[in-house]
Amino acid sequence: MKRSQIVITLLLLAVVLVAGFASGFSASFGALPPAGWLAVTVFVGVVGLALVLADTLRGRRQVLEAMADSEMQSSEQRRTMVMVESLGAALDPDGPPYPHPVINTATCIGCHACVDACPHDVLAIVNGKATPVAIEQCMEDTSCQVECPTVPKSCIVINTTKKIPERKVPNRDPRFMTNVPGVYLIGDVSGVPLIKNAINEGGAVIDFIVEDLKHEGKNGQADYDVAIIGIGPAGLSATALAKQRGLKYIALEQDKIVATIDQTYQAGKYVYFNPVEKPVVGGINLAGAGATKEVMIGSWMETVRSNGLVINEFEGCKSVKLPGETSGFFIIETEQEKNKRKMQYSVRRVILAIGNRGTPMKLGVAGEDAKVTVTATEMVMPAFCNKCGEKRLGEVRFCQSCGQQFVPKLKQRPAFEDDKVKYKLSDPNDYSGKHIVVVGAGNSAIEAAVDLAAYRSDDGTKITGWRDNTVSLVVRSNFKGDLKLGNKMMVYECIDEGKITAYFGQTIKEITPEEVILMSARERDAKSAKETASVKNDYVFALIGGEKPTKFLESIGIKIG
């Protein structure tokens, strides 16, 4: 017993004795009858035992908590030490003592995950590997280490006291099946944003499905054996191999084929096929250590043509209903973008290769669904000479009979409806003499604004001329921290030349047929907000990022952890 417990017990005994003597019992019994003494003894013993038990339990709990904390710290230290030891010679003993990332180039796969995650431009891809380029700018964000997909981590933040959480990715087994039987997950969305990895997974998953369907036996009630949702590198690889393996497939892409790759890399961008030592065994070709974006995509499109692949472009998946909800098969519900037609397919297996960027985020303002009527003209050369009537042959500019010059004439094309608000810029050459508003502060928005206002050199590093569009850039606060230096310099050059008008700290209040109404970004209610500016407008490009497909995956029942 502790000293305090003994003191409390003696005080209780003293209180009982005083009460006993004060009661007037015979002193021969010590101021209490025998039964009273027995009761006092039992009472004091019970109180003492209770105090000892309580103290023991409290001490045991404190010891267990201390052991658990120690074990957790030891486990975290061991995990950190394993990761740090994996860096080997990458650690510089004379490096700065403050927190900063260190890269193990031997295991780095050049996936851009750490570069994209860092909000302070500390990291960049150099020769296909992540490299610290501005260590002094590190603010101990640690998201670079969190997002690194390799095991062990290739990016480690050293000298940090922060507890770095684990990376949350969808659950799947070694055969790429999720916790939902019959639903497979491959490519970027699985947690490893790497082209070569995606192609290999796309090939391997088809062979797993072929094996599964053999054991299941034939069943002719479903429309298709497999649905492939998302046709990037992983989905295209799976589609090609499904055709080669004789599976009845439906391939769905909410945009165009490999749109994510096409929009991620600028024209002429050289793409490294990391890791170099890993061979490609999927359904599409990826030869060599790397290639320009155009060469890479060109070879993939040749795969589509040579294999006769059928892919439903601009048809987005809206839901995946599990077997038992409506039938014995998965029911895929989609919507075709151009005519808004809703479709439904029954399939035996589902492959999700939807990427990790998700669907584009919308502005959520009045007028966002507006349409514009587009009229266009083209220059047409006359078929006959207007002087002698001689027929023009080939592409000649002068009449061979009389020497009269053939003068082209403007011909009106049929008018068509177009979306006023767009969520990607496919080709800036499609827009001329337009009033355009670009919304966003990241690299994609800034590049689009520059491309709509100016012509860039082949390598995309400098401005070579000006377009005749009027471009306005709407930025909610300021440019993002991960904005590339080259993009920042070019957009400021456009602003200085008056080719782009920037509206910082503002956002869109409403989109009307003729203009865009702006308001302060601090306002929460667009209805009551005051108008800060009105901008004449033909098109709006909302380039404010994409929603990760977390909700879509969870709606199917896929666990993420």
- 475 in any annotated domain: yes
Q: How far apart are CA 395 and CA 293, in angstroms?
A: 34
Residues 544, 475: contact at Cβ < 8 Å? no
Q: Which domain holds residue 189?
A: 183-360+549-556
Q: Do residues 436 and 401 both lie within one domain?
A: no
- 104 in any annotated domain: yes
Evaluate if residue 399 carries a pLDDT over 60: yes
Evaluate if residue 109 carries a pLDDT over 80: no
Give me the pLDDT at residue 430, please: 85
What three-state secondary structure class fits 234?
Answer: helix
Q: Do residues 340 and 279 both lie within one domain?
A: yes
Give me the pLDDT at residue 516, please: 96
Q: Do residues 465 and 500 both lie within one domain?
A: yes
The residues, any chain, with a CB within 8 Å of residue 522's CB and separated by 6 or more, are: 505
- 81 in any annotated domain: no
- 462 in any annotated domain: yes
**Residues 134-145, mean pLDDT to the nearest whole number:** 87
Q: Do residues 226 and 108 both lie within one domain?
A: no
Q: How many domains, in total, are found in the chain?
A: 5
CA distance to 206, 218, 441, per residue, from 260 (Å): 22, 35, 19
What three-state secondary structure class fits 253?
Answer: strand
Q: How far apart are CA 200 and CA 165, in angstroms?
A: 29
Give me the pLDDT at residue 73, please: 45
Q: Assign residue 95 the CATH number of its domain.
A: 3.30.70.20
**Residues 14-31, mean pLDDT to the nearest whole number:** 57
- DSSP code per residue over 315-348: EEEEEEEPTTTSSSSEEEEEEETTT--EEEEEEE
Give me the pLDDT at residue 337, please: 80
Point out the least confidently predicted range of 207-211, 263-267, 518-522, 523-527.
263-267
Q: Do residues 202 and 333 both lie within one domain?
A: yes
Residues 358, 350: contact at Cβ < 8 Å? no
Q: Do residues 53 and 96 both lie within one domain?
A: no
What three-state secondary structure class fits 195?
Answer: helix
- 66 in any annotated domain: yes
Q: How far apart are CA 343 and CA 341, in angstroms?
A: 6
pLDDT top residue among 288 and 474: 474
Evaluate if residue 74 carries a pLDDT over 50: no
User: In the chain, what's the furthest Cα-to-Cα distance?
Assistant: 154
pLDDT top residue among 19 and 243: 243
- 170 in any annotated domain: no
Most confident of 5-14, 270-279, 293-302, 444-453: 444-453
Give me the pLDDT at residue 3, please: 56
**Residues 171-189, mean pLDDT to the nearest whole number:** 90
Give me the pLDDT at residue 378, please: 61
Q: How far apart are CA 428 and CA 422, in angstroms?
A: 12
**Residues 351-355, mean pLDDT to the nearest whole number:** 88
- Band (pLDDT 50/70/90 cuts) for residue 398 is confident
- 50 in any annotated domain: yes
Evaluate if residue 410 carries a pLDDT over 90: no
What three-state secondary structure class fits 230?
Answer: coil
Residues 329, 341: contact at Cβ < 8 Å? no
Give me the pLDDT at residue 465, please: 92
**Residues 1-13, mean pLDDT to the nearest whole number:** 63
Point out the least confidently predicted range of 176-185, 387-396, 437-446.
387-396
pLDDT top residue among 279 and 466: 466
**SS3 readout for 145-174:** HHHCCCCCCCEEEECCCCCCCCCCCECECC
Give me the pLDDT at residue 28, please: 46
Give me the pLDDT at residue 314, please: 87
Q: Do residues 394 and 434 both lie within one domain?
A: no
The residues, any chain, with a CB within 8 Å of residue 105's CB and separated by 6 or more, are: 90, 129, 131, 154
Q: Do residues 389 and 456 both lie within one domain?
A: no
Give me the pLDDT at residue 237, please: 93
Q: Do residues 215 and 349 both lie within one domain?
A: yes
**Residues 54-83, mean pLDDT to the nearest whole number:** 60
Give me the pLDDT at residue 259, please: 72
Query: Which percentage of the chain shows pLDDT scores above 70?
Result: 79
**Residues 448-453, mean pLDDT to the nearest whole number:** 95
**What is the token pair recorded at 504?**
């910082």
Residues 375, 348: contact at Cβ < 8 Å? no
Q: Do residues 240 and 334 both lie within one domain?
A: yes
Evaluate if residue 556 carries a pLDDT over 80: yes
Q: Do residues 38 and 120 both lie within one domain?
A: no
Summarize pLDDT for 540-553 with one digit per residue, the tens: 999 987 777 888 88
CA–chain centroid gap for 528, Å, is 34
Of 500, 482, 481, the C-alpha closest to 491 is 500
Residues 31, 24: contact at Cβ < 8 Å? no
Query: Which percentage of the chain shows pLDDT scores above 90?
Result: 32
Average pLDDT across the chain, whole number: 81
- Band (pLDDT 50/70/90 cuts) for residue 374 is confident
Q: Do residues 246 and 333 both lie within one domain?
A: yes
pTM flag (> 0.85) = no
Q: Assign residue 354 the CATH number of its domain.
A: 3.50.50.60
- 371 in any annotated domain: no
